[in-house]
Amino acid sequence: MVKGDSLGSENTIDKILSFYRKREIPVRFDLAPQYVNATSLQKLHNAGLFQSDFHATLYCELNEETVGKTKNSCIKLRQIKEDEFDRYGNIYVEGFGMPAFLAEGVAINNQVSYDKPGWSFYIASLQGEDVGIGSLYINDGTAILAASAVKPKARDQGIHQALIQLRITKLFNKIVV
């Protein structure tokens, strides 16, 4: 899956398509409407790509009732350090069922936002093993709970819930404080 904020350059699309074709991986573009234009959409169409689905966005007002504590006390959550994006990438690709060789690209793609205003990245550990990741982007009181993934062997133990709760709490604290 290709994610990004802009497909402004026509050459960008060609390079991306070439990358995936060389590796014989099906390509999918995950595009936010505000970041595309008619030229980029036409280029994707000419390459045989088309809109195939929509993503749901959930929205709620934050208040004392929507911000709570993690239910599983064995889950440890922490903000990652800049040199830990290899862990982030590995958990991300395993959690999303992607080929392992993409982990480095995922790590690099996210690490570029590490010191950008509004971005935070988290790792969840269970019994001392890093098993989940989540990222958060906050801008003007609005948040995007961006990526969140949990290794298959660690699912159904409240890790996604804990990552969501942590990120909502971080947003709530930014607004209230």
DSSP string across 87-132: HHHHHHHHHTT--GGGHHHHHHHHHTTTTSTTEEEEEEEETTEEEE
Is 69 contained in some domain?
no
- Partners of 79 in the beta sheet? 122
* Region for residue 53 given its phi and psi (left: phi exceeds 0; alpha: psi -120 to 50; beta: otherwise): beta
- Look at residues 64, 66, 8, 58 and name the one whose alpha carbon lies nearest to residue 37: 8
Is 54 contained in some domain?
no
Do 32 and 110 have their domain in common? no
Instruction: Write down the pTM of the prediction.
Output: 0.64
Alpha-carbon span 53 to 158, nearest angstrom: 28
Do 80 and 125 have their domain in common? yes
Which distant-in-sequence residues (6+ apart) come within 8 Å of 120 by Cβ? 79, 135, 136, 137, 138, 167, 170
* Total domains in the fold of the chain: 2
Is 67 contained in some domain?
no
Do 159 and 94 have their domain in common? yes
Do 111 and 39 have their domain in common? no
pLDDT in tens, the chain (177 residues): 776 656 655 577 888 888 888 988 888 887 777 677 788 788 888 888 888 877 666 555 555 554 445 556 688 899 999 999 999 999 999 999 999 999 999 999 889 889 899 899 999 999 889 999 999 988 877 788 888 999 999 998 889 888 988 888 877 776 443
Do 90 and 143 have their domain in common? yes
Report the b/e string of 14-29 with b at 16+ CB within 10 A: eebbeeeeeeeeeeeb
How distant is the alpha carbon of residue 144 from its chain centre? 9
Is 39 contained in some domain?
yes
Q: Which CATH number do you get for residue 147?
A: 3.40.630.30
Do 102 and 167 have their domain in common? yes
Is 13 contained in some domain?
yes
Do 88 and 42 have their domain in common? no
Do 104 and 38 have their domain in common? no
Do 133 and 80 have their domain in common? yes
Q: Burial, 137: exposed, middle or buried (Cβ in 10 Å; 0-12, 13-18, 19+)?
A: middle
Do 93 and 169 have their domain in common? yes
Q: What is the pLDDT of residues 144-163, one digit of tens each?
A: 888 899 999 999 888 988 89
Phi, psi of 170 (to 5 degrees): -60, -45
Do 119 and 171 have their domain in common? yes
Enclosing domain of residue 28 = 2-46
Secondary structure class of 52 (helix, strand, coil):
coil
